[in-house]
Homo-oligomer: A and B are copies of this chain.
């Protein structure tokens, strides 16, 4: 293999396995080249990622060391993504009954939501969470993409305990959005006591669900390393949790005027 081909192959392999550390030997074996060449190739790959602001290639020396691709999204690309989402979500044809907004097409758009997940992966990587968690259903795509980018497991909290989950722990919590008591449930075998969770969800209004998640996690001695939501309501001002990072905010919908105002969180960087 020539240098160009080796570098291309390294870019592809790293890019497909975010936050996984490869030894130099892995590439030597895979590409049939000497350590000195592979070392140079990795430097080139590193410069490509850096120049295009598509990620950071970290190298650590020594026997336990290796090469890790850390996904990145530039400030400019975050702003572009926020603007794109604001335009999409502010469309008044999204209004459904009761002042609710139809967002499923956006939350289930895999390509778009992977870009959102890259923002969360950038924001929360240094918190060293052991796993990502979300409550079914609409937050699952962004949570699974964040878990993929951070290379950690995903635990999905269910609304009803299912027989295939084995024994579960359940709690009841008050959801302001639906103005009623709701239930959530986690399989006992899903969590490692003492570990750290990153909560990712599609939408937060008063914070009742997220507070519920924090409570059910504490049943397992699991602490929260961070909370990211795609969209947070401006109202109510007083939330049940204080520590969360939304990509976007939404003003309370004026159902008479049929106006939706979604705007970027300018503090996300």
A→B interface (CB under 8 Å): 1, 3-5, 7-9, 11-12, 15-17, 44-45, 47-49, 51-52, 54, 96-98, 100-105, 108-111, 113-114, 136-138, 140-141, 144-145, 147-148, 151, 153-156, 158, 163-167, 178, 187, 189-190
Q: Which 7 A/B pairs are nearest by Cβ-Cβ distance?
A: A110-B148, A96-B166, A8-B48, A108-B154, A100-B164, A8-B11, A110-B147
CB nearest to A30 among chain B residues: B52
Complexed CA–CA distance, A189 and B96 (Å): 11
Complexed CA–CA distance, A167 and B45 (Å): 50
Within the complex, what minimum Cβ distance (angstroms) separates A52 from chain B?
6
Consensus secondary structure, chain A interface: helix
Q: Given A108-B155, A137-B137, A141-B144, does the pair A52, B12 have CB atoms closer than 8 Å?
A: yes
Cβ–Cβ < 8 Å partners of A101 in chain B: 164
Q: Given A16-B15, A111-B151, does the pair A8, B44 have CB atoms closer than 8 Å?
A: yes
Please tell me if the beta carbons of B144 and A52 are within 8 angstroms of each other in the complex. Answer: no
Q: Given A16-B15, A102-B166, A141-B154, does the pair A114, B148 have CB atoms closer than 8 Å?
A: yes
CB nearest to A131 among chain B residues: B108
Please tell me if the beta carbons of B166 and A5 are within 8 angstroms of each other in the complex. Answer: no
A165: contacting residue among B47, B104, B141, CB under 8 A: B104
Cβ–Cβ < 8 Å partners of A11 in chain B: 8, 11-12, 15
A96: contacting residue among B136, B138, B156, B165, CB under 8 A: B165
